[in-house]
Amino acid sequence: MNIIDELTWRGAINQMSDEVGLRKKVEEKSIGVYCGVDPTGDSLHIGHLIPFMMLKRFQMAGHRAHIIIGGGTGSIGDPSGRSSERVLQTMEQVHHNEEALTAQMKQLFGKDNITVLNNYEWLSKIDLLSFLRDYGKLFSINTMLNKEVVSSRLESGISFTEFTYQILQSIDFHHLLEEKDIELQIGGADQWGNITSGIDMIHKIEGSGTEAFALTIPLMLKADGTKFGKTAGGAVWLDAEKTTPYEFYQFWLNQDDRDVVKYLKYFTFLGKEEIASLADKVKNEPEKREAQRRLAEEVTAFVHGKDAVVQAQHISKALFSGDVKTLTAAEIEQGFKKMPTVEVSNEALNIIEWLVLSGIEKSKRQAREDVANGAIYINGERIQDANYIINPSKSFEGKFVIARRGKKKYFLAKIK
- From the list 305, 304, 227, 293, the residue with the least C-alpha distance to 254 is 293
Q: How many CA atoms within 13 Å lie on the side-chain side of 6? A: 20
Instruction: Give 192's contacts (C-beta < 8 A, 6+ positions apart).
Output: 14, 15, 148, 214, 216
290-304 and 257-267 helices, crossing angle to 10°: 40
From CA 92, how far away is CA 90, in angstroms rounded?
5
Q: Is 388 annotated as a binding residue?
A: no
Q: Is 89 annotated as a binding residue?
A: no
First to last CA, the chain: 59
Q: Is 34 annotated as a binding residue?
A: yes
Instruction: Give 50's contacts (C-beta < 8 A, 6+ positions apart).
Output: 188, 217, 220, 266
What's 237's DSSP letter? Answer: B
What's 221's DSSP letter? Answer: B
Triad 261, 10, 185: Cα angle to 5°: 135
266 contacts 259 by C-beta, under 8 angstroms: no
From CA 249, how far away is CA 308, in angstroms rounded?
9
Strand segments (E) across 38-181: 64-69, 114-118
From CA 235, how far away is CA 3, in angstroms rounded?
30
From CA 201, how far away is CA 132, in angstroms rounded?
14
Residue count (the chain): 416
Question: How many C-beta neighbours within 10 Å does residue 223 have?
Answer: 12
Q: Is 230 annotated as a binding residue?
A: yes
CA torsion angle 24 25 27 32 (round to 10): -160
- From the list 86, 67, 78, the residue with the least C-alpha distance to 168 is 78
Question: How many C-beta neighbours within 10 Å does residue 379 have?
Answer: 17
Binding residues: 34, 165, 169, 230
Binding residues for L-tyrosine: 34, 165, 169
Binding residues for ATP: 230
